[in-house]
Amino acid sequence: MEYLEGHSLFHRLQEQGPMPVLGAVNIVRQIVSALSLAHEMGVIHRDLKPENVFLLRRPGRRRVVRRMAEADQTQPRFEVEDEGDFDLVKLLDFGLAKVLMDTSVSATDPNMILGTPAYLAPEQINGPSVDGRTDIYALGILLYEMITGSPPFGGTSVALLRAHVSQQALPPEQMNPDVEIDANTSNTILRCLRKEPRRRFQTMDELDQALAGFFVDRVYLREAANMPGAEDAGVVVPPRPPSEARKPREQTITDELQELFQGSQDGLEQKLEQALDGPPVAPAPPEPEVVVEQVQEQEQEEWKKTKETLPYRSLKR
Task: Indicate whether 20 belongs to any domain.
Answer: yes
Instruction: Give the residue numbers annotated as catalytic, written as ranges.
Output: 47
> What confidence tens digit (pLDDT) does each residue in 237-265 have?
887 666 544 555 444 444 444 443 444 34
In one-letter notation, the amino acid at residue 183 is A
Q: Give the residue ranges of DSSP H helices in the chain.
A: 9-16, 21-40, 122-126, 132-148, 157-166, 172-175, 183-192, 204-211, 253-263, 265-277, 292-309
pLDDT tier for residue 144 given thresholds of 50, 70 and 90: very high
Specify the number of domains making up the chain. 1
Task: Indicate whether 200 belongs to any domain.
Answer: yes
Residue partners of 262: CB distance under 8 A and separation at least 6 = 103
- What is the C-alpha separation between 202 and 107, in angstroms, rounded? 28
User: Are 27 and 163 contacting, i.e. CB atoms less than 8 angstroms apart?
Assistant: no
User: Are 46 and 130 contacting, i.e. CB atoms less than 8 angstroms apart?
Assistant: yes
Task: Give the range of the structural domain holding residue 188, as residue numbers without chain letter.
Answer: 7-97+113-234
| Prediction pTM value | 0.67
Query: Would you state the pLDDT for residue 241?
Result: 67
Residue partners of 13: CB distance under 8 A and separation at least 6 = 19, 50, 145, 146, 149
- Res. 171: pLDDT tops 80: yes
In one-letter notation, the amino acid at residue 147 is I
Task: Indicate whether 46 belongs to any domain.
Answer: yes
User: Are 201 and 207 contacting, i.e. CB atoms less than 8 angstroms apart?
Assistant: yes
Q: In angstroms, how far is CA 161 from the centroid of its own chain? A: 24
Task: Indicate whether 302 belongs to any domain.
Answer: no
Residue partners of 185: CB distance under 8 A and separation at least 6 = 21, 172, 213, 214
Task: Indicate whether 250 belongs to any domain.
Answer: no
Residue 43 sits in a domain whose CATH number is 1.10.510.10
Query: Would you state the pLDDT for residue 139?
Result: 95
Task: Indicate whether 161 belongs to any domain.
Answer: yes
> What confidence tens digit (pLDDT) does each residue in 192-219 have?
999 999 999 999 999 999 988 777 777 7
Query: Would you state the pLDDT for residue 61?
Result: 83
Task: Indicate whether 276 belongs to any domain.
Answer: no
